[in-house]
Each structure stands twice: as C-alpha cells, then as structure tokens.
Amino acid sequence: MHLPQEITREIQRWLGSDYDEHTRQRVQSLVDDQKESELMDAFYTKLEFGTGGLRGLMGPGPNRMNQYTVGVATQGFANYLNNTIKGQEIKVVVACDSRHQSQYFAQITAQVFAANGCRVYLYPALRPTPQLSFTIRYLACHAGVMITASHNPKEYNGYKAYWSDGGQLLSPHDRGVMDEVNRIGSVAQVRFQGGSQRIETLDESLDQVYRDALHQLSFDNGFVARQSNMPITYSSLHGTGITQVPQTLARWGFANVHVVDAQAEPNGQFPTVIYPNPEEEEAMTLCLRDAAAHKAVIAMATDPDSDRVGLGIEGPDGRYALLNGNQIASLLVDYVLKLTQENQAFKPGDYVVRTIVSTPLIDKIAHKYGVQVYHTLTGFKYIGDLITRLQDNQRFLVGGEESYGYMVGSLTRDKDAVVSCAFLAEMAAYYQDKGMSIMDVLINLYLEHGLYREKLVSITKKGKQGTEEIADMMARLRRQPPSTLGGVAVVQVWDYHTSTWWTPETSQQGRIDLPKSNVLQFVTHDGCTVSARPSGTEPKIKFYCSVRGNLTDKACYQATLAKLDAKLDAIMGDLLAG
C-alpha cells in the first residue's frame, strides 16, 4: 500500500492501547487485506459538524461513526457547555432512532455527558427527532443530542446536536463545539466513565405530553369526527414513527388508519427498501400498494427519525401517485392559512417560512392571505433559529422545505413529521367533508397562482476524491456562470458564499442578508431559478430547478406539466453540460 505518512500515523494510533480490542482487530484486518481506498477514506480526515452534528459511515477510523468519534464529539460538546454555562446544573436530553448502533451510541453520549457533570435525560428506546426537540424545550434543558442519520442508507449513522431552544446548533455554538472537539488530542481525554447517577431514564408519560401538545394546534371543529372513518395508510419505514404517528392520528380522532405491517417493526437493516427515504418512489411502494388495497384517501410514510414525511394520493386516473415536497409544503401552507382565516385567528406579524430552494408558490399563497414570508438557507436549523429570534414579536404559523420537511406551530425547532402527518390527515378530512380531493385542491392552487414545477438532480461523489470533485464543480460555476439556461438568458446570479447577487448584463450588485453558505443561484429572464448546493450531510451536490407556467383550465393540467418537464430537462441539461 502507498498511503500518505499522516494517514499511516493515524492508523497506528488506532492500533494502539487507547482503543478496544475489537476496534484494533477491525483496523488490522483492513491493513492485512490491503483495503487502501477504504483506509484512505476512513483515516484521511475527521468527521466534522455539518448541519449541527456528525454524519458518516459506521466503522473504525476518525472519519467514521463509532464509539470514539461519538465520545470525542460529546466530550467537546460537554466542554463547551461547561465553559459557556456557569452557575447552574447543565441539563441535556439524549434520544436515538432505529439504526444499527443507535442505542449504543446514545448510551455512550449520555455516559460522557454524565461523566462531565451534566444531568442527562435519556430516552430508553427509539423516539422521533422532533420529540427530542420538544423535550429539550419542555424540560428546559440546555442542549440535546439525537443519534440518527435521518434518511441516509443503512450503513450510515449520525449525531444531531441541539441547543436550548430545541434547534440544531448554529453559530457561534457549532463552531465553538468543534473548536473544543479539535482540542481533544487523544481519546484518553474523553471521560467515558463516572457520574451514572446523573442519568435519568425518561418514561412514556412524555410521549403523551408531546401528543397532547400537538393536538392543541388542531383546527378541527367537528369535520374530523364526521370523517373519522376516512381510510389512511401509514408506514414508518422501519423507523421511529411507529412510536408516535399512529398514536397521534388516533388522538386526533382518526379511527381507520392502516399501518403497513411489513415496515412497522423498527429495523436498522431497512429490509423492505433500498433507501429509507420517503422522497424515493421505491421506498413508498408498499405504502402505495396498501393505500390502493384499502382505498385510502392519503398514504403517508416517515423516514427513520420521523422528521420527514412523504405523501401519496389517488390521482384522476385512479392510480396512487406521490406528491413532491414542494407540493406538500404548498398544500400545508394553504390549509393552515385558510383555516386561520376562517377562524378569524390571524394576528399582526404572523408569518410563514420557506428555504431558498423551495417553491415560490408558497410566497404566492402567503401573499393571498396577507401573511409575511421569510426565506432562509437550506436546512431546518435556520427556520428554527428564525422562529426563536422572532418569538417575542411575531408568530410562526407554518413552514417547510422541498426535501419533505415541514412544521406547523412552534412547539419544536426542527421539522416534525409527527405533527405534519396529523395536519395532512386533518387537511384531507376537511376537504373530504367538502367533497373535494387533495388533487382538486392542488390543481385549484395552480389555476389561481400558476403551475409551478420543480426538479432536483443529485450527483453523488464519494470519498476524498469525490469531495474534491464537488468543490471543483462549484468553483467552475463561480468562475464561469452559465449565460443561458434552456435557451433563456440568465439575468441574475446569487452567490450566498460571498453574500452578493449581480446582473451579468448591467453589473448591478446587491447584498444578500443571510448567513454565508456554499450555494449558487441562477435566475433566467422568464423567472426560472436554478440552485447549486453541495449537501452538508451527504457526499452529494444537488441542483434544484423551479419553473412556472400558466394553467387556465383544469383539462390542460397534464399537457402543461409535460411542457414544464421538457423545460426543466433543457435547463438542467445546459447546466450539467457546462
């Protein structure tokens, strides 16, 4: 093997006495089998906090999720908490999803916090990510950790770090924690033992508290009771949703919920899907099949940590089809604002939020109701931070992002598939009560505001070389932005890394009032938007495109869709070819 010297030194460290025998054996096996590329990727760098935590493949090495990287991250987090919060006992909540080693990593996290003097509230078994966010706020804790890799493949796990507001870490806390982590020169500095008496196991009473709090948000004034037997299909995709979604739907009065049995058991192997991601049509196959069998009005599936939800409905042709994240977000925003208006419950300063890569249809809907719209960077941590910053003067009603994450009300500071499932079911019941389908409502939105169509193209680039290739792609787009896309001139370029936008023809410039982020956006003369963004949690670069067409007649829906899809293909073809 021809590994760089610094990687060889790191491998030797992991073969030393600071690491347990099983770990040393696994590293030695990689060396003996000359797994050069695997060793390179596992040891060339350390896992770093992306969107508020760690995420990576499981296995030995500093660039992998294992008990040592989890321990070092927690020691750094504990050091930061102890250095930042003085004169009071620090309280932390820890929870986990159904992934391999999640419960083990959660126990290590709790033990390291406890050994550093923190009071730890530990969920004894899997719970949804939004429930962790709620619990931090409910118990007035200073921080929290969720062991999950969300919707990633089964080989991954992760570590989401939260602050006292229930949102994922943001500046300066994220950088402060990483600085503390980087100061740890050896796993011998991690306190893995001591203080177990400071760990308190949470009981099921908090599950009910969470469900009761969510139900207080309901708009139901009797229509759910009239539609209580409306058939609903739900799948937890082998994840945490099984602990809360069926129970929450029952709490809201839905009595005809069919759980997809083959996917109900929590299982980190995710045996019935390729990827446990409701964004993927393949992952929703069993859910849609069950929906067709029971003639369900809606079919919903949540990802392993239950912060994302996919939605399927029966189309005009009788077949069940999936809505995309932008469509679901638009429907939720319209429903919440419509019912708030019907109940005469608007307050001055009410607002909704979407991310910069989500559909502009949300803006159109909000403006119809006279409600302000805020845009944030991609990642729900920015939505959560905005809610916290505005909580004393303005009320958050609803928000979402194209990647199947939504939130209604401000009980949490992270996307919440549990409350989203409840509101999607309530929305379906509301329209059923009026003799309308979800598809009817969606097409009416398009008739009123224009037919918005979006496309996401993700390109995966694994390992060290992949990271460099993604960086090169972004650098090229900055040096040579496209002049046309789909045959239409690009009239604006937005670079969120430099916080600057400009017009290529006139050289007019402006400032972007958002935190810096490695995102580029190109706006064409006819209002189409294309965004390029490397993922903060996966080895991917993502390209988002949004186009709009006029829909004047319901009968023209499919033909207009086809035209917009062709336009999307032309735009993305130009971008990727360049």
CB atoms within 10 A of CB 48: 15
Q: Name the one residue in this structure whose structure tokens are 């194209």.
A: 402
> Out of 98, 150, 236, 358, which one is annotated catalytic?
150
Q: Name the one residue in this structure whose structure tokens are 């046309």.
A: 484
Of 51, 44, 96, 89, which is closest to residue 70 (Cα–Cα)? 96
Of 6, 3, 25, 45, which is closest to residue 463 (Cα–Cα)? 45
Q: Is 98 a catalytic residue?
A: no
- The residues facing 300 across adjacent strands are 234, 311
Pairing, β 119-122 against β 91-96: parallel
What is the full DSSP assignment across 87-154? SS--EEEEEE-SSTTHHHHHHHHHHHHHHTT-EEEE-SS---HHHHHHHHHHTT-SEEEEE--TTS-T
Query: Residue 438 contacts by C-beta under 8 Å, 6 or more apart in sequence?
Result: 297, 298, 313, 323, 331, 427, 428, 431
Cβ 95 vs Cβ 123: under 8 Å? yes
Cis peptide before 172 (omega within 30 of 0): yes
Of 577, 523, 514, which is closest to residue 546 (Cα–Cα)? 523
The set of catalytic residues is 150
